[in-house]
Amino acid sequence: MTKAGAARTDVLEEHAELLHAYARHLGAERGRSAHTSRAYLGDIRHLLAFAAAQGIDTIGDLRIGDLRSWLGAQADAGAARATIARRAASARTFLRWAEHTGRIAADPSLRLVAPKRQAHLPEVLRQGEASQLLDLAATRADDDDPIHVRDRAILELLYASGIRVGELAGLDVDDVDLAQDVVRVLGKGAKERIVPFGAPARRALESWLAVRSRLVRDHSGPALFLGRRGRRVDTRQVRSAVHELLSHLPDAPDLGPHGLRHSAATHLLEGGADLRMVQEILGHASLATTQIYTHVSVDRLRRSYEQAHPRA
């Protein structure tokens, strides 16, 4: 192990109790997912290692200048704006917790400002492309292969409801109400919401539930979507199915499941849906997050105008 690597290990061992306590806080009290908790903890380990390299052994000795130097070093190393912004947010959350729990006397991150993220409008399918994709999934499902029937139901539900791929993978059979055409979803922060879907998604789900028993094994449990070996489908399998079907549409962007979520939100707004209703469907905590889809719609309108109008 290199000298720098050994020093980093020493730092993390010294702060092991602190990191364990913070991990418990993120999971038990803040309701953060395992994925989010790992990202937060990774950011804090990075901060602690940087501080140790500057001769700062305890978090109580951190000052605003140290935090700015930490972010600046990452910018100099070529880190993306989004990464720096996330790490700044992680540091603020961690140090606020440390102050509230009496581990430090004052939070040095109150005036910490990270560079704003560059706004990247998400790629989305056009409505015609979405229809082609779902027609392709339906045609392939005609071969009666239960995996193809499952993939059709997955794509229909993703596009109809705009739910996240992790939310879809976590669905159980009882979470779907075919009488009401709604699905109960456990979203970020363990928040539950009810999301509607349309008749095409209902028909695809009915077809899948009719063949699901062919994949059920002793270990299948209540999972709605199963893999070929009978286990709950994972997000990797869902992404693979979406990418594979989209590959047959040469002019469509290569999107994953999140691209179907973006497409669903954009098409809802283009169809006249209320922004707050779309926020509720997507499970966004802030309306500002949902508003990006209004920008997508305006951007598409602008491109169409420039292509069509002789004096654009």
| 32 is known as an active-site residue | no
Residue 63 CA neighbour count, 13 Å, CB half:
4
| 232 is known as an active-site residue | no
Report the b/e string of 53-71 with b at 16+ CB within 10 A: eeebeebeebeeeebeebb
Q: Hunting for tokens 């040469």 — which residue is that?
A: 250
Strands in 176-177's sheet, in edge-to-edge order, are: 176-177, 182-186, 192-196
| 258 is known as an active-site residue | yes
Residue type, 295: H
- The tokens for 187 are 């979203």
Pairwise CA distance, residues 82 & 59, whole Å: 24
Active-site pick, 8, 164, 202, 267: 164
Active-site pick, 96, 203, 239, 258: 258
Active-site pick, 92, 188, 203, 239: 188
Backbone angles phi, psi at 176, to 5 degrees: -100, 125
Q: Which of 272, 309, 36, 289 is nearest to 166 (CA)?
A: 36
- The tokens for 53 are 């390299």
| 68 is known as an active-site residue | no
Pairwise CA distance, residues 251 & 27, whole Å: 43
Pairwise CA distance, residues 109 & 107, whole Å: 6
| 302 is known as an active-site residue | no
- The tokens for 113 are 């400002």
Active-site pick, 261, 295, 309, 311: 261
| 188 is known as an active-site residue | yes
Judge contact between 209 and 173, C-beta under 8 A.
Answer: yes
Judge contact between 171 and 244, C-beta under 8 A.
Answer: no
Active-site pick, 22, 40, 159, 293: 293
Active-site pick, 68, 96, 184, 284: 284
Which residues are part of the catalytic machinery?
164, 188, 258, 261, 284, 293
